[in-house]
Structures are given as structure tokens and as C-alpha cells.
């Protein structure tokens, strides 16, 4: 297995990150590094909390984890620092603000307690049983209705047959 220097890895990370946003395939071809190796590096960097887009995808199409990482990295930055951060990564401060708001809104709804969760699950199970019972009842009634319709048709045919003979 070939070892690469930290300088090469840093160059790959720079190429993958905004504003360059070169694809893994392109970097692999240009530098002669296997695609799988680059993907392993990318995964390692992401696990370390770094934002590595490595695609031409608009930042709005980034994964939620990458957006959240940006929100965390910019949490304590002043306006000028935020602007510099955004320029470096090909973002707009407004995007970061929207992502921050989305992260805050995600926690708006209160989390259920364990007791409430169990009660909700119990209620759900009861409702599922009721739905099953009602479906079964509906099937029985549909079957009975079909039998009644068949008997009615048979009765009409018999009446029509006997009614004609009785008139003569």
C-alpha cells in the first residue's frame, strides 16, 4: 500500500473543498491516486468534523451532517470572520443562517418522556388491532352483501321464469 504525505492529502482536501469543488474522479485522474483511497480520506476528514463536499453540488444539496458541521464551526464567529469562512467554502452567510434556524427549529417540538412514548406505542398498537378488526368485519359484510346480491339475482331469474309460465 502506497503512503502519501500530509502535503498531498492537504492538496486533495483543498481541491475537494469549495470554491474548487473538484470531483473525486477528476482528482484521482490528475494526481494518480486511486479513487478508493481518496474516498477513505474524505470519510476520515468527515468523521473528524470537517466539511468536505467533493462535488459540484450546490451547498443547499449537502448532507444534513455537513450543514450542521458548518453551523457548529460558525457558532461563535463575528460577522467578518463568518464572511471569511463562507468565502473560503463557497457559501453565503444567509445559507448558514438558514441552516442555523433549521437546526434550532428541529428542537422546537418537545421530546416525549419514556412514559409518554410507551403510552403512545400502546395506543398505536390498540389502533392497529382495531383497524385489523374493522377490516375483517368489512370483508365479512362485503361477502354477505355479495351473497345477498347473488340470491336476489337468482330469485329474480326464477320469478321471471315462473312468472311467464304462470301467465299462460
- Which tens digit of pLDDT belongs to each residue from 54-98? 454 567 777 788 888 888 889 889 999 998 888 877 788 988 998
Q: Please state, in angstroms and rounded to a whole number, the distance separating the CA atoms of residues 165 and 43.
A: 89
**Predicted TM-score (pTM) of this structure:** 0.40
| Contact by Cβ (8 Å): 89, 70 | yes
Identify the top-confidence range among 6-10, 59-63, 110-114.
Answer: 6-10
Name the pLDDT band for 16 (thresholds 50, 70, 90).
confident
Nearest to 24 by CA among 65, 63, 55: 55
| Contact by Cβ (8 Å): 74, 96 | yes
Nearest to 52 by CA among 9, 4, 96, 104: 9
Percentage of residues of the chain with pLDDT beyond 70 = 88
| Contact by Cβ (8 Å): 51, 70 | yes
The domain 1-56 is placed in CATH, from the list 1.10.3470, 2.60.120, 1.10.10, 1.20.120, at 1.10.10
Q: For residue 116, what is the enclosing H or E element?
A: helix 114-167
| The pLDDT of residue 103 is above 80 | yes
Output 57 or 42, whichever has higher pLDDT. Answer: 42
Amino acid at each position: 500500500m502506497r503512503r502519501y504525505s500530509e502535503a498531498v492529502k492537504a492538496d486533495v482536501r483543498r481541491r475537494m473543498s469549495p470554491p474548487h469543488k473538484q470531483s473525486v474522479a477528476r482528482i484521482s485522474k490528475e494526481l494518480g491516486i486511486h479513487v478508493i483511497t481518496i474516498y477513505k480520506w474524505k470519510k476520515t476528514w468527515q468523521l473528524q468534523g470537517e466539511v468536505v463536499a467533493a462535488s459540484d453540488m450546490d451547498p443547499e444539496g449537502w448532507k444534513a451532517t455537513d450543514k450542521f458541521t458548518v453551523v457548529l464551526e460558525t457558532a461563535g464567529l463575528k460577522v467578518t470572520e463568518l464572511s471569511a469562512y463562507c468565502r473560503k467554502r463557497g457559501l453565503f452567510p444567509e445559507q448558514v443562517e438558514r441552516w442555523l434556524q433549521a437546526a434550532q427549529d428541529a428542537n422546537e417540538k418537545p421530546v416525549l418522556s419514556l412514559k409518554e412514548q410507551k403510552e403512545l406505542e400502546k395506543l398505536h398498537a390498540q389502533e392497529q388491532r382495531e383497524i385489523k378488526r374493522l377490516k375483517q368485519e368489512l370483508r365479512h359484510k362485503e361477502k354477505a352483501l355479495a351473497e345477498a346480491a347473488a340470491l336476489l339475482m337468482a330469485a329474480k331469474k326464477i320469478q321471471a321464469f315462473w312468472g311467464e309460465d304462470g301467465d299462460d
